[in-house]
Amino acid sequence: MKRQRLQLFLSLIMLVAVLATSCSKKTISPLGNSLFSVNPSPLELVGTKVPVTINGRFPAKWFDKNMSVVVTPYLKYDGGEALGTSYTYQGEKVAGNGTVISQENGGAITLRSEFNYTPAMKKSELYLRFAFSRDGKTIPGFGDLKIADGVNSTAGLASAATVTPATAPDAFQRIIKETYDADIMFLIQQAELRSSELNSSNLAAWKDLVKEADDDARKNINVEVSAYASPDGGLDLNEKLAEKREKNTTDYLTKEFKKKAIDTEINAKYTAQDWDGFQKLVQASSLQDKDLVLRVLSMYPDPETREKEIKNISAVYSDLAETILPKLRRSRLIANVEVIGKTDEELKSAVNSDMSGLSVEELLYAANLDGVSKEKVYTFVTQKYPNDYRGWNNLGAYYYSNGQAAKAVQSFNKAAGVSSNAPEASMNQALLSLAEGNTAKAEQLLGNASGANSLGEALGLLYIQKGDYNKAVQSFGEAKSNNAALAQILTKNYNKAQQTLNGVSKKDATTYYLSAIVAARTNNTSGVVGNLKSAIDQGVSASSILSDIEFAKFLTNSDVKNMLLK
């Protein structure tokens, strides 16, 4: 009995020893962060995402043939963490779908992830988390491995608030040109003025219009007389006929103008054979064989040959003689009137006294004159012309540019409601979407904004938010704005970026902050110090600078430290 107990005891000792030896072989050695590299380093915000590629390797003799491990990159920041894409790796004896790692040789690995950016990630750390298992059971491993610090969030400085909103144009013209005409008709081969023509209501109305324009101090007028003969009858006959018609008409008007005290010059000319008028009338007619006539005109440039060939088409010529040719025997009277609009001073005076007498075009133009209240004028336009989207749109643009976001949204929405397809309304709706980070909706709206002024700025911001920085630079063109400079920084064109920042007309905290980034990236310590000081004076907090990787290597500088500790 004692012998059996002794044998059992020895067997238990041996089993414990075997198990202990087995477990000791399965202990997982920690990995060092020197085995892993991160690209980009530091991580960078691209559009609204933080992409990362992690390259690493499992060393030789490290990976157990029966073991699996799930590796998950994650960003840890104050208040939370963001998980990346998990990757599974397995030993050579594991049946599964993971990537097999040789125990003898180890193996290289690549992990790609993309995190949705939040501002808190500006100060963050990139870790790898390892979850081990053997034979389908979880086994203990080692703690998470830190492999990188922080996210460069410079791209996040793009702002919809500084984009110039689109304003709808006015159609105001200082001088408006108007043309009024009347015809005096003649009988075939005659140049005498007939009383039936001279007493027509059409001619009377034309003369009254000339008199009214001549009497109006805001109108300039000149009169033209163009006399014609129809193309039939021969060139010599028609030339004399057209000349006589012109003279008789001019003499008549001269007497009439003197009688009515109209002081304007008369410019007269005549055309012997009105082939151009003939062709236009034929083209506009319903003649059965008009294509045949038009073909003759194109084939024969010589007037006599034309006339002969057309007369040879006997079936057509009778219709031409009845419906087309009589309309060409005429003197055309043309009154060219220039309407002179109000001066800038007159418009400003009206805006400050009584706007009710101004047209919508005058109002929209006057809103941009120095010393005029845009808000006052555009508000009046929305009241007097509520169905003209331009008043609502431009009022919204005024509010937007002056930081009154809620009022801007209301006005932009009203403009879109009145005319949803107007390019300016579409662009400003896109701005609201960009401010919300909704690039898909903004892109759709900008597709309807062709022709809107400042469209390039909106497109530039869209491309920054989408992470396409080269297209952003192209869209901004030569614009002098913070966003344009940011696009140039993101494409590493630092000289151009600083030139753009120097040209910004209203420099703000972001302007100086971006200049400090340019200085930091070009190792200009004095530029970093000076621009950060200006940025702080404009309201940038010391904490935001301390957490910005752009300035990490300058935080030990005494001038920077003293400035941030104030």
DSSP class of 102: B
Identify the band that residue 170 occupies on the pLDDT scale cut at 50, 70 and 90: very high
Tokens of 426: 């579409």
Tokens of 557: 């500088």
151 contacts 49 by C-beta, under 8 angstroms: no
Count the neighbouring beta carbons within 10 Å of the beta carbon of residue 129. 17
Count the neighbouring beta carbons within 10 Å of the beta carbon of residue 278. 23
pLDDT for 478 equals: 95
Tokens of 93: 């004896």
What are the pLDDT digits (tens) for 430-484?
A: 999 999 989 999 999 999 999 999 999 999 999 999 999 999 999 999 999 999 9
What stretch of H or E contains 497? helix 494-502
What are the pLDDT digits (tens) for 237-270?
A: 999 999 999 999 999 999 999 999 999 999 999 9
Cα separation of 27 and 34, whole Å? 21
Residue 72: strand, helix, or coil: strand
- Please give the domain boundaries of the chain with CATH numbers for all domains: 33-152 (2.60.40.10), 175-340 (3.30.1330.60)
What are the pLDDT digits (tens) for 59-76?
A: 999 999 999 999 999 999
Q: What is the CA radius of gyration of the chain?
A: 42
Q: What is the pTM of this model?
A: 0.74
Cα separation of 476 and 496, whole Å? 12
What stretch of H or E contains 527? helix 525-537
What are the pLDDT digits (tens) for 214-233?
A: 999 999 999 999 999 988 87
Residue-averaged pLDDT of the chain: 91
- With 0-12 CB in 10 A as exposed, 13-18 as middle and 19+ as buried, what is 263? exposed
Tokens of 266: 């008369």
